[in-house]
Amino acid sequence: MLRRTARLLLSLVMLATVGLAGSIATAGTAQADTCYTWPRTLREGSSGSDVSQLQIRVAGYPGYGGVLAIDGQYGPATAAAVKRFQAAYGLTADGVAGPATFSKIYALQDADCTPAHFSYAELNQCNSTWSGGAVSAATAKANALRTMWKLEALRHALGDQSIRVTSGFRSHACNSAVGGSSNSRHLYGDAADLGAGPHSLCTLAKRARYHGFPGILGPGYPGHDDHTHLDHRSSRFWSAPTCGI
């Protein structure tokens, strides 16, 4: 709560500063944000790093069984994901990312670019350096950020009730200590294990099918009766027999 309050106060100060300076926001530019500010309106045909930044934040809205590529190309799949994001938050669902869409993203993210309801600490209960896994520390941390934005979409779809992350990135040492498989996606930083809370494990597994997770393992799959596992493996593998998946 303190972190969110601090961000709100910072935003108010920034808005006041902009007003005193006499700056005028153009149709393609939303207010500045401490994490990332989009410099233009984006639509189909746009390309660049600003498109990639948008894709990271709407990757949790690809539709059932979909996975949105983070490729910097604003094609039909990105437009469709933007539409679903817009609809989810009561915005005009036109698939064009402009000031209203960016303002909602700014409201959802913290200064370190993580979504409001998840943190790097939650996605890394192993070590603070993100090192020792199957990829570089920078890649593992970037993968975790993408996971968090998908979890934020999942959380919102489930009524904005909390989701409990029980495991995220693991180094080889951490993975061995908990008996993880040698090719665990946790070693890549792109996996999250969820525990039961406001939602059952089956509810989490079933809903995750709509939010960009090609890997879903849950109750009924060996070793997963006490958690739902989500990851970004290269091809779809869903198995939670108890849940009918």
Q: List Cβ neighbours of 207 (8 Å cut-off, separation of 6 or more).
A: 154, 157, 158, 199
Residue 42: strand, helix, or coil: strand
Check if 199 is active-site.
no
Locus of tokens 């094609």: 75
What is the distance in angstroms between the CA of the first residue and the CA of the last residue of the chain? Answer: 36
Amino acid at residue number 97:
A
Of residues 199, 224, 229, 232, which has the active-site annotation?
224
Q: List Cβ neighbours of 69 (8 Å cut-off, separation of 6 or more).
A: 55, 77
Residue 243: strand, helix, or coil: helix
Catalytic residues: 224
